[in-house]
Amino acid sequence: MPMGEFDLIRRHFSRPVQRAVLGGGDDCALLAPTPGMQIAISTDTLVEGRHFLSTVRPERLGHKALAVNLSDLAACGAQPLAFTLALTLPRVDEPFLAAFADGLYALAQTHGIELIGGDTTAGPLAIGITVLGEVPPGLALRRSGARLGDDIWVSGELGDARLALEVFRGHAQVPGDALEALRMAMEQPTPRVALGMALRGVATSAIDLSDGLSGDIGHVLQASGVGARVAFDAIPRSERLRAQAMARQQQCLLAGGDDYELLFTAPPSQRQRVQAAGAQGGVRVTRIGRIESDAGLRVVSGQPDDDLAQATRIDTPRAFDHFASP
């Protein structure tokens, strides 16, 4: 007899919980938040063919499904607590599920969080995760706090995940040994949780880069009622991306998507604390521009401190939108 829904859950998604009062197996899970803390909640779904290629290794898919959710907690400066998993599966594929669960639990363990429940249904492969975290009152990082004169920062390097996609689509070529690193960027992003927490009380606004810098920074600008100038040459990128034609670099860096790095703002007086937060988060942070009063985003050549008169404007390709993009 084929494995049923409940056997599947018991076998693959019922590892014991310690922090939660009650994990999976009942009608609800129970969680005791730290007294006085605010709960941060976020949901993200990955759909086969939309968010991942069917060729992805299942361990990496398990990792990524949780990583993109943790990235949202990171962008709020929240400490992850627990998560739920809504799985839609075309069939019960034992090796797939075992490997998927391994990748998922490995990242969960890295962040000390527990799977406390979920839902399992049959249908086209899709993975929905809801994460819960906590943050001290008033200290959650939001999109709406950017102020005139703030520096704009990003963590890590941008663009590699999009370059990987372009290589898989046959639009770009890279040397053979570069492909695995690109693939890792696309399939195993590192959520910047420790950085987000270290930026509490330092950053004035933050967002995680999931749809591409130009679109995501647009959300910050809109929520904050400000504009921005970004110095294109300062945007951190790998040597692999730097070796590509300029139009490809612009596409991958500005409209890339799937970066899962943090973009945040902070006043210039906080530069040392931002660097310290980067060190605490174990990731390089780079200043790429400044918040301005003129509405909208201007991407220009050069570095953030360059004389504006010398700069040439760079067109910003549009960021990804599930319903508006081709």
| Tokens, residue 227 | 């504009």
Q: Could you give the CA distance from residue 77 to residue 96 in angstroms, rounded to a whole number?
A: 33
Cα–Cα distance, 248 to 241 (Å, whole number) = 8
Q: Is 25 in the site for Mg ion (CB under 5 A)?
A: no
Is residue 321 a contact residue for Mg ion (CB under 5 A)?
no
Interacting span for ligand ADP (CB under 6 A) from 114-122, 207-215, 224-232, 258-266: 114-122
Minimum CB distance to ligand ADP, residue 10 (Å)? 8
**Structural contact between residues 150 and 267, judged by C-beta atoms closer than 8 angstroms:** yes
Q: Indicate whether 62 belongs to the interface with ligand ADP (CB under 6 A).
A: no
Is 7 a binding residue for Mg ion by CB under 5 A? The answer is no
196 binds, among Mg ion, ligand ADP, none (CB under 5 to 8 A by kind): none
Give the nearer residue to Mg ion in terms of CB position, either 119 or 321.
119
Query: Which helix (H) or strand (E) segment is 79 a member of?
Result: strand 79-89
Q: Tell me how far apart the alpha carbons of residues 281 and 64 are, in angstroms, rounded to a whole number.
A: 19
H or E segment and range at residue 291: strand 285-292
Q: How far apart are CA 76 and CA 93, in angstroms?
A: 36
User: Closer CB to ligand ADP, residue 59 or residue 151?
Assistant: 59
Q: Which is nearer to ligand ADP, 11 or 57 (CB)?
A: 11
* 236 CB burial (10 A radius; 0-12, 13-18, 19+): middle
87 binds ligand ADP (CB under 6 A): yes
**Which residue in the set 115, 125, 126, 277 belongs to the binding site for ligand ADP (CB under 6 A)?**
115
- The residue (of 29 and 202) whose beta carbon lies closer to Mg ion is 29
Count Cβ atoms within 10 A of the Cβ of residue 288 and give its class: 0-12 exposed, 13-18 middle, 19 or more buried.
buried
Taking the least distance from each CB to Mg ion, the nearer of 8 and 231 is 8
- Residues 15-54 binding ligand ADP (CB under 6 A) are 24-27
Using DSSP's 3-state secondary structure scheme, residue 30 falls into: strand
Piece in contact with Mg ion (CB under 5 A), picked from 38-46, 115-123, 186-194, 269-277: 115-123
Task: Give contact residues for ligand ADP (rule: CB under 6 A).
Answer: 9, 13, 24-27, 85, 87, 115, 117-120
